[in-house]
Amino acid sequence: MNATSSGYRSLLIASGLMLPAFVLLIAILWVCNGQLMYTLDDPYIHLELARHLQHLHYGINDADYAAPSSSILWPFLLTPFAGWSYFVTLPLIINLACLFATLLLLVRLMHDLSVFQATLMATVTALSLNLYGVVFTGMEHSLQVLLAVAAGVLINAHSRDRLARGATLLLYVCLLLLPFVRYEGLAISVPMLAYLACHGQIRRAALTLAGLVIGLAGFSLFLHQLGLGYLPSSILAKSPPGAWTIYNNIKTNLEHYGWLIAFLLPFLGLSVYRDDRPLALAIGAAVLLQGVFGQVGWLGRYEIYLLAFLTPFLIDRVIRTRPQLIYVCVLAPLAFFSLLWVTLFTPLAASNIYNQQARLATIAAKLQAPVAVNDLGLISFRTDAYVLDLWGLGSLTALRERQAEQADAGWMDRLMRRHGVEYAFIYPGWFRRLPDNFIKIADLTLDELRVSAAGSQVSIFARDETHADILRRHLRAYLAHHRSPDYAITFIEAPQTNVAGAAP
């Protein structure tokens, strides 16, 4: 088959493999009453941050600086389009484009297979790695996966002396960009740069490494200059430095992927080791770095960058050395069932956000007053008032206070008074204690399977009786026009209870 025919074939197969993504999109629109809803609250943090970046402000509230994004690059990619009427669809558009490019790269690896075999193997890979589901998180992970797969394809070609001269630059671009998309990209970039240096590309590898160090250090100094420390609050909130975090990372990685380390990696490692010993060591280093410093899960997105990077090596070895295993690969989704499960339940995950955070955002917008939260995204994106993030992604002060919390929750009340906040929509179980003056008005409860919401129940508080009465009126007015069997609002201090709450 000539190059042109092979290229057309790959385009055709990759285009067909986009069908599941559009099926998921239609399902999301169906369960969310025609609204595009992402499967996490977090992408709306990036969208709101991008809006402020357009006005040269790094933060969520005009009054404060904040570093709520774990990605350096992603909010800046969104910023030029922040004024667009369909801005909320931009992460989906970018992610669909990244998905298509990823599928195309994978299919081109299978040029020696029949159309049926290539389609089967690519479909199994996409389902096993949650490539479809991660698109609808609205986060930077589809871009991260694309860069990881591209790096894997190019490194594999380099190890077999089949890397085109012009593709070398693309390889270094991928290795440079990966940590700026997400910090854990360092687990791939650093070992692979060391590998390339071992193969005589010392100058290029050193320049790329210098670019990484200068860029990451420069961003840290930028944050420090704003009074935000040296790392984004989102990283410090989810992965506080310390031995416990490392222990927990190792434990969860082994629980989820111990079988991979025991069975699949030895096959891949030995196969690569026979051909290219430094590459086998670099791949092992990447796996080790993820195992020690990387997290797992949270809607099947944290670890898939490394699985995606390993995939081109595995596909190439299977096709070249064990072609009889091609049909056995159809069982891969069962081995990666936790990721397949996320893909299958993507519409319900979007429904969770629709029936919880989107409804709370509508209530907050009607209040037209500052509100305290611990899920920052949709509420900040859909309201103009001040939003105090008690969990700390949008407020380094709150993060430090929460992590230093001892016997009382006075810090919450102090921060709320400082910012004129009289209402709080929070998961109470996330905090050791709540202020004594908090008046609980109601609970908003999901009446559907919880997939992506951080909790099934959000409690709604006011700080005094005057604001409690205002909040009750707004909640009743909301319920009068927004009823659905998928959620309920239970009033604590009102005669009507278990009031079932259509579109936010």
Residue 500 pLDDT exceeds 70:
no
Q: Band of the pLDDT at 360, cuts 50, 70, 90?
A: very high
**pLDDT confidence tier of residue 1, bands split at 50, 70 and 90:** low
- On whether the CB atoms of residues 60 and 380 are closer than 8 A, the answer is yes
pLDDT at residue number 299: 85
b/e burial code for range 254-283 (CB count within 10 A of at least 16 → b):
eeebeebeeeebeebbebbbeebebbbbbb
pLDDT > 90: what percent of the chain? Answer: 65
> How wide is the angle at C-alpha 359 spanned by C-alphas 355 and 362, nearest 5°?
160
Is residue 388 over pLDDT 60?
A: yes
pLDDT at position 32 is: 96
> Is the per-residue pLDDT at 499 higher than 50?
no
Range from 192-196, 373-377, 493-497 carrying the lowest mean pLDDT: 493-497
Which pLDDT band holds residue 501 (cuts at 50, 70, 90)? Answer: low
**Do residues 84 and 418 lie in contact, with contact meaning Cβ atoms separated by under 8 Å?**
no
pTM: 0.93
Q: What is the mean pLDDT of residues 143-169?
A: 90
pLDDT-wise least confident of 224-238, 322-336, 385-399: 322-336
Q: Return the structure tokens found at 230.
A: 């040296």
Structural tokens at position 303: 């670890």
pLDDT greater at residue 166 or residue 416: 416
- Residue 63, pLDDT above cutoff 90: no
Alpha carbon of 146 to those of 100, 163, 309: distances in Å?
Answer: 9, 18, 9
The rounded mean pLDDT for the chain is 90
pLDDT of residue 126: 95
Which pLDDT value is given to residue 433? 86
Instruction: Output the pLDDT for position 298.
Output: 77
Taking only the tens place, the pLDDT of each residue in 40-58 is 999 999 999 999 999 999 9
Rounded mean pLDDT, 113-142? 94
Q: CB 154: neighbour CB atoms within 10 A?
A: 24
Going by their DSSP bridges, the two strands 439-446 and 457-462 should be labelled as: antiparallel
Are the C-beta atoms of 157 and 316 separated by less than 8 Å?
no
- Look up tokens 């700080």; give the residue: 463
Of 347, 349, 366, the C-alpha closest to 504 is: 366
> Looking at the predicted structure, is the pLDDT value of residue 368 above 70?
yes
Over residues 130-155, mean pLDDT: 97
Percent of the residues in the chain that have a pLDDT greater than 70, as a whole number = 94
Measured over the CA atoms of residue 481, residue 485, residue 486 and residue 492, the dihedral's sign is positive
- The predicted model gives 147-155 an average pLDDT of 96
- Under 8 Å between Cβ of 58 and 66: yes
3-state secondary structure labels for all residues of 276-306? CHHHHHHHHHHHHHHHHHCCCCCCCCCCHHH
For residues 147-172, average pLDDT: 90
Band of residue 474 on the pLDDT scale cut at 50, 70, 90: very high
Query: What is the predicted pLDDT for the residue at 317?
Result: 84
* Residue 282 backbone phi and psi in degrees, to 5: -65, -40
- What average pLDDT score do residues 78-100 get? 96
Q: 3-class SS at 387?
A: strand
SS3 string, 106-172, reads HHHHCCCCCHHHHHHHHHHHHHHCCHHHHHCCCCCHHHHHHHHHHHHHHHHHHHCCCCCHHHHHHHH
CA 123/CA 237 separation, integer angstroms: 36
> What is the residue whose two structure tokens read 């949270």?
298
Whether 496 has a pLDDT exceeding 60, the answer reads no
Cα gap 227→213, rounded to integer Å: 21
pLDDT tens, position by position, 437-453: 999 999 999 999 999 99
Q: Highest mean pLDDT range out of 136-140, 328-332, 406-410, 427-431?
A: 136-140
- Please write the tens of the pLDDT for every residue from 282-323: 998 998 889 888 888 778 889 999 999 999 998 988 888 777
pLDDT score at 354: 97
pLDDT > 60? residue 414? yes
Q: What is the mean pLDDT of residues 79-108?
A: 96
Query: Given a cut of 90, is residue 483 above it in pLDDT?
Result: no
pLDDT band of residue 12 (cuts 50, 70, 90) is: very high
Q: Answer whether residue 416 shows pLDDT above 50.
A: yes
The CA distance from 142 to 96, in Å, is 8
Reported as type and span, the H/E element at residue 92 is helix 90-109
Q: What is the pLDDT of residue 498?
A: 38
With a CB cutoff of 8 Å and minimum separation 6, the contacts of 404 are none
Rounded mean pLDDT, 90-106: 98
For residues 478 and 491, what is the distance between their CA atoms, to the nearest angstrom? 13
The answer to whether 369 and 468 have CB atoms below 8 angstroms apart is no
What are the C-alpha distances in Å from 354 to residues 40, 82, 298, 425, 500? 10, 22, 18, 16, 15
Over residues 6-23, mean pLDDT: 93
Answer whether 171's CB lies under 8 Å from 163's CB: yes
d(CA 474, CA 224): 40
Three-state secondary structure call for residue 251: helix
Handedness of CA 111, 112, 116, 121 (dihedral sign): negative
Do 423 and 385 contact (CB within 8 A), yes or no? no
Q: Which residues contact 488 (CB under 8 A, 6 or more apart)?
A: 444, 445, 447, 498, 499, 500, 501
**pLDDT on residue 258:** 73
What's the rounded Cα separation, in Å, for the pair 392 and 13?
A: 44
Neighbours of 251 (CB within 10 A): 11
Query: Nearest Cα to 178, choosing from 201, 221, 148?
Result: 148
**Torsion sign over Cα 315, 320, 322, 328:** positive
